[in-house]
Structure 1
């Protein structure tokens, strides 16, 4: 139970005069956060409480970031800008800010976070006679429109006496602290010996001096979750190895200084035990890390008080005893048992987790099947794309391999000798665990660990128009861990296929890919050279049910990152007026709708069924390229493949500015470089189709240049080149 009580709160109208109880010094360290500082600074300058001193400490940022910061700093007498010559870390920057501050109150804010415009007003209103007040912090997973936050100048306020409950998160952010809590003769500085956990050095000073804390139960501080912990991590997104080293260092340092302060020692010991269970135990999944960290952790464990250990589970007390006795041999056995039991408990929580447990515990330790290949296309949705071409080539050439295809539907029928396995079944995990080769055009799930002996061929599925992964600044998708997850999953790729030189260079930067790039062209495009003949085209039309006497318009748009129901579940609002298209074009054309696999279930064709064919779940889009006379797309990469046919392409980019400037950004200038007109309305689309010969003539020279740049690697033999390099020459 939290030892707390609620104070009576009187509603204060936001239009009433705000009581000025003294200057508040807001200290903002800045280090290479130009993508966020403008939003942060705006949230501070807009505060309803105006008696502020805004101290921005540039902690040795790069020239580009420094120039940006200095450019956006407004002419405001409340701003104090301090620049450090060298990067020394957040603790140093805060100490510099403390040294120049003159406010009666102190408030710390990170440069990638934001506060509501009445944040300081509420804190000053409710601090009353207390030395410290804390606001509620909310996680910010995506860009925030502060104007849409409902502001209330009335809130529940808790007064908490068990300070450990508030300080458990080890952060000084969103705290309004009276400067006079510290004596004139003593320092309130941050420890500069580590990168991480430096806040603890100030928190222990506060614990030693105060008896209670007021807490405002209203979100006023929005803590950004950085979406790129790989190339631009926040301090707390650094590796577990770094965090463990830093935590032990600061724990040792503060434990020695406060060795006679029972209250602080108890807090430090509770932090250590909590960190041990959440971080150190997981670090030791790699048993070799025990040798690296054992000595320092053992020294720290010897400082633990009996009181701190008394409430711990038996296995933690045993591990602490072995650490304190410096018995590394017994400790390794205990930690392995600890992790085994933790893994089993996790595995017993659900059937899916039990399958994952079996995969990690048993399947990846079984004898290897050297000639087994697992194929998957678009997360098991269909039998298509480059994996299909590679499989069919190997079967047709009687190569000595066993084949497994992964599908969501276990009853899926495909040609050849492949074994069909349902995705996420026990067999799925078994074959991924024992097969030497994996072939996929999308990412295999995070929880699938890869054996060192595995060879993973990532075929990918397009030439990039939209910026990808690490070439994107912000992520607007439903998954805030997108970049981190992508990085982990892509480290497993041994081979990656590039369709052209342009893509090869982008894949290296966007995916941070450093292994084997196969500059062969996509196997899936071989069909565009091999089967581009009337009989093949008519056979496909007949199979689908499209009239042979009608020309075909293929509409293949992409998905929108910011339009979703939940993580992995995207929406799509069809902007093409199918009814009007039927009226104007229906005598000569039909339209085939092929949506991105994320949005395949979102399209309805009620009322135009004889004109519009929803082929979003048709297995092979290359066959739809072959039967179509015109392609309409937007920002999908399909037009790079379709250009191999040298047929007309229209770009229906009704939300171009939003998609280009906010959601993704492009690698090429879509208004200048694409081989067809960019249009924004259904009428424009219809008029372009009615005058398609003029369009072709107008864009002929641009189309020829485009073909030379993006299609020249394709000659109908890409599949053969890939198979030879991965499956024949690598053996």
Structure 2
């Protein structure tokens, strides 16, 4: 096991205790089993929520190629399926759309896609296990499907069905057909994207800047709704202070300490051999704690594609607030953050709604911009805060954030005017109005 200081030690189970194995627990809605193997070895097994008969290759082929097409001929149900990052969390713009529909009292069944218990669903919705028989049936028969990333390849919109693509961020980095290097430029990826875009009945744009980019990058000719991001409504809601206090309590954040949120994007060239991507944390945590630990805490939110634990988490200064750690909604973190540290993540556009300071830890700016992704605008010219290349510079800026960000007041104001022009707290209402209008057509 790994201690808070980063050192490792082995754990040995007493022989008498092994007689009590296997042991089952349920954590975060997921069944976990501790097993004894080969006498002296322990194994931690995370169970799939699908039963063996449901997850076999033959059964999945039958569900996809026979059950789903047949169900498409059955009458539509007055139901909404919500899919956030393939069932990995309850949050983002689909959450705001769901809450708006519930607030209105619309007579709809709400089904939330969940992958192997990775997120908890509120009482206002029912969990829908990914790749279960009921999942295929719901995708075939629900009147509305609302998602924030790519949908399954086999999904085919039927007459009367609305597939709403909210997407998940204002594009600084190039996306879709605009992407021009060896990452995500394979023929298969572009063919899948070309097929998928034809299934959308609506694509959301978070601001006027994004509208032409999204239309071009996705080659989308359908209904592009310039509504703002529903997920940002909470940052302007009248009860945001109450929700922020609840989040602080849930995360166990100490009173009186400022909250630094570090939310970097992922690096396509930092793959792990076991799948996922490296965190590649460049902040010197010991130095940061010495300089900031007395009156700050550091929340680290890796990108959803990152599959590594946060080093040092649990020491009182560093907090792992990843989706894997059970913190599902980024908006909750933006509510409690006093300052955001990011790099090229689209979270900067959301956080700008709050008006709070931002610092940019851009240690690989030239590589990322010129070789890895490419940008849609001159980030160095328009960034609403300082671009910092080293851990020492970042820590110094965090020690006196007001001084570090003072020269960027005009740039911040211009940034908000350009990228937050539709953020007024009513984006979810506009999206739901359009959904219901189209759904009743």
TM-score of the aligned structures, taking structure 2 as reference length: 0.82
CA shift for structure 1 position 411: 8.4
3-state SS of the aligned residue for 2:259? strand
CA offsets per residue over residues 188-242 of structure 1, 9 Å max, x none?
xxxxxxxxxxxxxxxxxxxxxxxxxxxxxxxxxxxxxxxxxxxxxxxxxxxxxxx
Q: Does 1:623 align with 2:329?
A: no
Q: 2:389 aligns with which of 677, 680, 699?
A: 680
Return the alpha-carbon distance in structure 2 between the equivalents of residues 531 and 609 of structure 1: 34
CA offsets per residue over residues 17-54 of structure 1, 9 Å max, x none?
xxxxxxxxxxxxxxxxxxxxxxxxxxxxxxxxxxxxxx
Preserved CA contact (<8 Å) 1:443 1:490: no
Counterpart for residue 105 of structure 2? 398
Q: 2:348 aligns with which of 598, 622, 639?
A: 639
Preserved CA contact (<8 Å) 1:412 1:420: no
Q: Does 1:553 align with 2:260?
A: yes
Q: 1:356 aligns with which of 48, 64, 81?
A: 64
Preserved CA contact (<8 Å) 1:478 1:568: no
Preserved CA contact (<8 Å) 2:203 2:224: yes
Q: Does 1:705 align with 2:414?
A: yes
3-state SS of the aligned residue for 1:379? coil
Q: Does 1:540 align with 2:247?
A: yes
Counterpart for residue 181 of structure 2? 474
Return the alpha-carbon distance in structure 1 between the equivalents of residues 274 and 201 of structure 2: 28
Counterpart for residue 610 of structure 1? 316
Q: 1:486 aligns with which of 193, 203, 227?
A: 193
Q: Does 1:721 align with 2:427?
A: no
Question: Which structure has the larger Rg?
Answer: 1
3-state SS of the aligned residue for 1:436? strand
Q: Does 1:512 align with 2:213?
A: no
Preserved CA contact (<8 Å) 2:314 2:320: no
Preserved CA contact (<8 Å) 2:82 2:111: yes
CA RMSD of aligned residues (A): 2.1
CA shift for structure 1 position 603: 2.8
CA offsets per residue over residues 97-129 of structure 1, 9 Å max, x none?
xxxxxxxxxxxxxxxxxxxxxxxxxxxxxxxxx
Counterpart for residue 36 of structure 2? none
Counterpart for residue 130 of structure 2? 423
Counterpart for residue 14 of structure 1? none
Q: Which runs of 5+ in 1 are unaligned?
A: 1-346
Return the alpha-carbon distance in structure 2 between the equivalents of residues 352 and 656 of structure 1: 43
CA shift for structure 1 position 702: 0.7
Aligned residue runs from structure 1 range 222-241, under 5 A: none
Q: Say which is worse superposed, 352-361 or 663-672, in terms of deviation.
A: 352-361
Using a 3 Å threshold, how does the CA distance of structure 1 residues 431 and 581 change in structure 2: closer, same or farther? Answer: same
Return the alpha-carbon distance in structure 2 between the equivalents of residues 656 and 532 of structure 1: 38
TM-score of the aligned structures, taking structure 1 as reference length: 0.50
Return the alpha-carbon distance in structure 2 between the equivalents of residues 471 and 383 of structure 1: 29
Q: Say which is worse superposed, 667-676 or 608-617, in terms of deviation.
A: 608-617
Q: 2:92 aligns with which of 385, 390, 397?
A: 385
3-state SS of the aligned residue for 1:632? strand
Q: 2:73 aligns with which of 353, 357, 365?
A: 365
Q: Does 1:562 align with 2:272?
A: no
CA shift for structure 1 position 718: 0.6
3-state SS of the aligned residue for 2:379? coil
Using a 3 Å threshold, how does the CA distance of structure 1 residues 348 and 679 change in structure 2: closer, same or farther? Answer: closer
Using a 3 Å threshold, how does the CA distance of structure 1 residues 567 and 353 change in structure 2: closer, same or farther? Answer: farther
3-state SS of the aligned residue for 1:564? coil
CA offsets per residue over residues 336-378 of structure 1, 9 Å max, x none?
xxxxxxxxxxx99533222212334422222222x11111111
CA shift for structure 1 position 442: 0.8
Return the alpha-carbon distance in structure 2 between the equivalents of residues 411 and 462 of structure 1: 22
Return the alpha-carbon distance in structure 1 between the equivalents of residues 274 and 182 of structure 2: 13
Q: Which runs of 5+ in 2 are unaligned?
A: 1-54
Preserved CA contact (<8 Å) 2:207 2:419: yes
CA shift for structure 1 position 608: 5.7
Q: Does 1:499 align with 2:184?
A: no
**Which protein has greater RCO, CA pairs closer than 8 Å, 6+ apart?**
2
Using a 3 Å threshold, how does the CA distance of structure 1 residues 398 and 348 change in structure 2: closer, same or farther? Answer: closer
Return the alpha-carbon distance in structure 2 between the equivalents of residues 464 and 474 of structure 1: 17
3-state SS of the aligned residue for 1:358? helix
Q: 1:572 aligns with which of 267, 275, 279?
A: 279
3-state SS of the aligned residue for 1:512? coil
Q: 1:660 aligns with which of 350, 365, 369?
A: 369
Using a 3 Å threshold, how does the CA distance of structure 1 residues 478 and 469 change in structure 2: closer, same or farther? Answer: closer
